[in-house]
Structure 1
Amino acid sequence: MIDLGLKRITQLLSHSSIPWKAIHVAGTNGKGSVCAYLSSTLHSSGLRVGRFTSPHLVHRWDCIQVNNSVISESAFLAAEAHILSLNDTHSIGATEFELLTATAFELFTRSNIEIGVVEVGLGGRDDSTNVLPAENVLVTVVTKLGLDHQGFLGNTIEEIAAVKAGITKQNIPMVVDASNQDSVLEVIRKVVTDSQGGDFILAAAEPNGSPADTGCFITTPSFGTLRFEKLLAGGYQPQNLSCAINALSLISSKYPQITPAAIVKGVAETKWPGRLEMLDIGKIHPGAEALVDGAHNPQAQRELRGYVDTHIRPRGSGKVYWVLASTKGKDVNGMIEELLGENDVVVATRFGAVDGMPWISSVETGEIVKAVEGRGEVKEVQNCVEAVRIAAREVEKEGAALVVAGSLYLVADLHRFIDGTD
C-alpha cells in the first residue's frame, strides 16, 4: 500500500531516538548511485556509515547496509520485530515502507553509525524518510528529475520538482544536479528559499578526456579539482558523482577525515548491482552473459539505450535481444519506443511477487507484446529465467547481445536464481 504522509512514521519514531546524522537524497534517476558513492567514500574516510536505499535487490534486508556490508538477516529481523511491536502496541497502522524505514533507522542506531545515507522512497516532501529532523540532516541532495509516479507526485516535471524539493530543511544546504532543466531548477530554488533553506549548490562535472570516456573532473570549494578515472557505468554518472562530491565538500569541515585521497579511493570501490551490470548467466546458459539494468522510466531507458548502442552493440552483430518486464502502471509503449532498435527482438516476460511490497505486480506479457507489434519481433515467455535461457540461445547463434531490463524486480529475480536464493 502506498499512503504518503508523515503522521504514522512520526508516531512510530517518537519511541526511538536518532543519534546519528544524515545525508538525505531525492530524485527520479541517479539517487541510488549517489547514495552508493556517498556511503563508499564516507566508509573509505574511516567513518561508520549506514545506507538505506529502496527497493531491495535480492532480499528484503539488503536495502540496509552498514559500512558497505548488507545487514545480517538476524539483525534485520530483530530490529523489525521491535518496530512491529511498537506499531501494534500503539495501534499506529504504519505502511510497509514506513515500517521498513523505521527498521533501517533502528538498525543504524543499534550499529552506532555516525552518518546515515538515506534515499527517499517516493517523492520527498511526504515520504516517510522525510521524518528526519533538521538537526540531524547535514545536507540534502536532489538528483536528475523526470516524469515518474505522476499519480502520486504531479503531472508535470515542475510539480514533481516541488515535491522532491520538499526534503529541504531550514538552514541546511541542498545540492542539486545542474543538468536539470531550468524550470526544474527554478522550482527547487523557490522551495528552498521559501523554506529558509541553506546554501543552494548546483553540481556539475567536466569530462576528463580519458580514452574510454569513463572519467571526469569535479571542482568544489573544499577539495579543489579532483580527477576521477573510473566511475560506475553510464553517461549520467559524472553528474551523479558530482552531486555526491559536492555534498561531501559541504560537510568536510565537520568531518576532516573526508579527504581527496579518501574520496578517490571510495569512488573507485563503489559498486551498485543491478544497474548497467554485466552479469554472468552461465548457470542459465553456459558461457553467457547479459547486461542487466533496472531502467523503469523514460529517462533511465533513454540512457540505457544510449549505453547499449555505444558499448554493447559494437561487440557483436549489432542485434540485441531484450528480455523485458514492467511494473503495472508504467508506460510500456514508451519503454519499447525508447529501447527497441532496428532488427532487435523482445522477449516479454514477468517478474514474481515482491517480498514486502504486495502492491507491486508485473504487467501482463500481452501488454508488452502489443506494444512491440509492428515495430519488431517479439516472443512471450512467462517464466523470466526461461525467457533469458531462450534469448541466450538465440544470442549465441546470431552473435547478438542480451539485455535484461524494464524493472529492477526482474533483475532481482534473475540475481536470486543465479545466486541460488530463489
Structure 2
Amino acid sequence: MEKIRYALDLLGNPEGNLPIIHVAGTNGKGSTIAFMNQLLQSQGLRVGTFVSPHMVSVHDRICINNQPIADEHYRQLLEQILDLEQEVARVYEPFRYFEVMVLMMFLYFKDKALDVVLLEVGIGGLLDTTNVVDPLVSVISTVGMDHQDLLGSSLGEIAEQKAGIIKPKRPVVLGPVRPEVLEICQRKAEQAGAPLYRSGWEFQLEEGRFENGSLALDALELGLAGRHQEENAAVALQAFWLFMQASEREIDREKAKQALAQTRWAGRLEQVSQRPTIFLDGAHNVPAVERLVAHIQNQREQDVTILFSALKRKDFKEMLELIQRELPKANLLLTSFAYDGAISDEDGLAGSTYVADYQAFLKEWRKKGVGSLYITGSLYFISQVRRLFEHKY
C-alpha cells in the first residue's frame, strides 16, 4: 500500500477527485457492477468501470460507458507508468501487473468528466491496490472461502479483509452473508461511523419487487439468469439509490427497470449457443459452484454435461466433489487449458472423465450434443473458451 500511495503522489493523486463506488466481495462483484453500470447509464450518466479479469481483451478492464480504452491511449499510459516505475523502483520493488492497471485506470479516468466510477477490488479489500480511494459508497457483495493463501484460512479472517474497504462516514451496502461475517462488518461500520445497509434488512428484492423504505420498484425482470442474480441486483439497486441520493439526482424508475432487464455480463451463466444449449459460467470457487449447482437443479434438466477446468491453487477437488454429490446424474468432464498452473489429467476424481482437447470436444458437441452443456471453472478458462464463440467457432 505504501508503494501505490507513493506512486499516486508522484502522479499528482489522480484518484483524489473521482466519484467512486468501491466494490469488494468473494463472488458477485462483476455482476453487481454490471447492474449498476446499466442503471447509472440509464439515467444519462457517464460511467467509468474497472473490472478484472478480462474476458476478451485487457482493454476491457477500463471502460467508459461500455467502451474499452482505445489502444492508442492504453499504450501512451503504459509508457507513462513504465517511466514512473523507474522512479518508484528507487524506493520500492517494481510494479506488479495489477498495480500497473490500477495506475493506468486512475490516469485515464482523471480528465474524462465522469459522473461515477465503478471500481472493483482485485483481491480482498484491506490491502488491495484499489483501497487508496475515499468512495461515495462501499459495496461488499458476498463473503466466502477463496484466496485463503492471501486472505486467511477462516471466514472471519477473510471478512476482516473484505470489510477493510469500509471508510469513515461512507455508506456501506452489504449483500447476503453469514452471521459471523455480518457481525464483523457491523463492528467495522460502527467504528468508522459508516451507515450500514444490509440485504434482507434495510433493503430486499423478492418476487420481482425491490424495496428499501424510500424506493420501491415492481415487476422487475433481470437480464442475468440465476437466483443469486436477484441478490446481486438488490445490492446494485441499493448502491445506485445511495449514489443518486448523495448526488441529489432524481431517479427515472421506468428507465431503471429497463436497465435491469437489459443487463448482460460476459461469462456469468451466459448462453452462447441455443442449439445445442451451451452456457459459460465462471464458477471459480466453492461458493460460485454452489450457485451454479442450485441453478442447474432449479432447471430440472434431464441431460446435463459439465465441462470443468480450474487452477491447481484453487479448491478444485472440493468443487468437483460438490458437483458429483449434488448433480449425480450429470456427465462431468475435466479438461485443461493454456495457463500456468491449470489442472491436468492427473488431477481428476473417480467418476469424472478427462478431455484432452476441449476445442475438439466443443466442435463435436456443437454437431451432435444432446441436452445442455455448462462450461465452468476458472475465469481464465472461460475467457479462452469465450473467444472461440466470439469468432463463431
1:36 to 34, 37, 44: 34
Match of 2:186 in 1: 189
Post-superposition shift, 1:206? 3.8
> How far apart, CA to CA, are the structure 2 residues paired with 1:350 and 1:118?
31
Paired residues of 1:222 and 1:252 also in contact (CA < 8 A): no
> How far apart, CA to CA, are the structure 2 residues paired with 1:110 and 1:320?
49
Q: For residue 36 of structure 1, give the secondary structure of its aligned residue in structure 2.
A: helix
Partner deviation per Cα, 1:181-232 (whole Å, 9 max, x = no partner):
11110011111222x2321111233432xxxxxxx21112442344412341
Paired residues of 1:222 and 1:249 also in contact (CA < 8 A): no
Match of 1:300 in 2: 288
> How far apart, CA to CA, are the structure 2 residues paired with 1:115 and 1:39?
9
Match of 1:362 in 2: 342
Paired residues of 2:276 and 2:372 also in contact (CA < 8 A): no
Post-superposition shift, 1:324? 1.1
Paired residues of 1:323 and 1:391 also in contact (CA < 8 A): no
Give runs of aligned pairs for residues 312-391 of structure 1, distance below 5 A. Answer: 314=301, 318-340=302-324, 341-353=327-339, 361-367=341-347, 369=348, 371=349, 373=350, 376-381=351-356, 383-391=357-365
> How far apart, CA to CA, are the structure 1 residues paired with 2:336 and 2:250?
46
> How far apart, CA to CA, are the structure 1 residues paired with 2:78 and 2:380?
22
Post-superposition shift, 1:176? 0.5
Match of 1:97 in 2: 98
Partner deviation per Cα, 1:154-200 (whole Å, 9 max, x = no partner):
111111111100001111010101x2111110011111222x23211
Post-superposition shift, 1:36? 0.8
> How far apart, CA to CA, are the structure 1 residues paired with 2:389 and 2:186?
45
Cα 1:308–1:184, aligned 2, differ >3 Å: closer, same or farther? same
Q: For residue 49 of structure 2, give the secondary structure of its aligned residue in structure 1.
A: strand
Paired residue type of 1:55 = P
> How far apart, CA to CA, are the structure 2 residues paired with 1:377 and 1:123?
32
Match of 1:357 in 2: none
Q: For residue 129 of structure 1, give the secondary structure of its aligned residue in structure 2.
A: coil
Aligned: 1:24 with 2:22: yes
Paired residues of 2:131 and 2:165 also in contact (CA < 8 A): yes
Paired residues of 1:58 and 1:416 also in contact (CA < 8 A): yes
> How far apart, CA to CA, are the structure 2 residues paired with 1:90 and 1:156?
35
C-alpha root-mean-square deviation of aligned residues, in Å? 2.1
Partner deviation per Cα, 1:309-352 (whole Å, 9 max, x = no partner):
222x52xxx23222111012111221112223224323321222
> How far apart, CA to CA, are the structure 2 residues paired with 1:188 and 1:332?
28
Partner deviation per Cα, 1:400-419 (whole Å, 9 max, x = no partner):
32111011111111122232
Partner deviation per Cα, 1:346-377 (whole Å, 9 max, x = no partner):
33212224xxxxxx63122320x2x2x1xx34
1:88 to 83, 86, 89: 86
> How far apart, CA to CA, are the structure 1 residues paired with 2:27 and 2:262?
21
> How far apart, CA to CA, are the structure 2 residues paired with 1:52 and 1:226?
30
Paired residue type of 1:172 = R
> How far apart, CA to CA, are the structure 1 residues paired with 2:254 and 2:76?
37
> How far apart, CA to CA, are the structure 2 residues paired with 1:105 and 1:335?
36
Post-superposition shift, 1:89? 3.4
Q: For residue 405 of structure 1, give the secondary structure of its aligned residue in structure 2.
A: strand
> How far apart, CA to CA, are the structure 1 residues paired with 2:273 and 2:79?
36
TM-score normalized with structure 1 length: 0.85
Post-superposition shift, 1:267? 1.5
> How far apart, CA to CA, are the structure 1 residues paired with 2:243 and 2:373?
42
Q: For residue 123 of structure 2, give the secondary structure of its aligned residue in structure 1.
A: coil
- Range with bigger deviation, 261-270 or 112-121: 261-270
- Range with bigger deviation, 241-250 or 216-225: 216-225
Aligned: 1:403 with 2:391: no
Match of 2:194 in 1: 198
Paired residues of 2:209 and 2:216 also in contact (CA < 8 A): no
Give runs of aligned pairs for residues 154-233 of structure 1, distance below 5 A. Answer: 154-177=152-175, 179-194=176-191, 196-204=192-200, 205-208=204-207, 216-233=208-225
Q: For residue 361 of structure 1, give the secondary structure of its aligned residue in structure 2.
A: coil
Match of 1:125 in 2: 126
Partner deviation per Cα, 1:72-93 (whole Å, 9 max, x = no partner):
2332222222222212233251
Cα 1:421–1:129, aligned 2, differ >3 Å: closer, same or farther? farther
Q: For residue 228 of structure 1, give the secondary structure of its aligned residue in structure 2.
A: coil
Paired residue type of 2:215 = F
Q: For residue 23 of structure 2, give the secondary structure of its aligned residue in structure 1.
A: strand
> How far apart, CA to CA, are the structure 1 residues paired with 2:159 and 2:102?
23
Post-superposition shift, 1:144? 1.5
> How far apart, CA to CA, are the structure 1 residues paired with 2:222 and 2:36?
16
Q: 5+ unaligned residues in a row in structure 2: which ranges? A: none
Partner deviation per Cα, 1:236-275 (whole Å, 9 max, x = no partner):
1111111111112222231414432332232222110100
Partner deviation per Cα, 1:361-402 (whole Å, 9 max, x = no partner):
3122320x2x2x1xx341331x331232345556x2xx3321
> How far apart, CA to CA, are the structure 2 residues paired with 1:226 and 1:72?
39
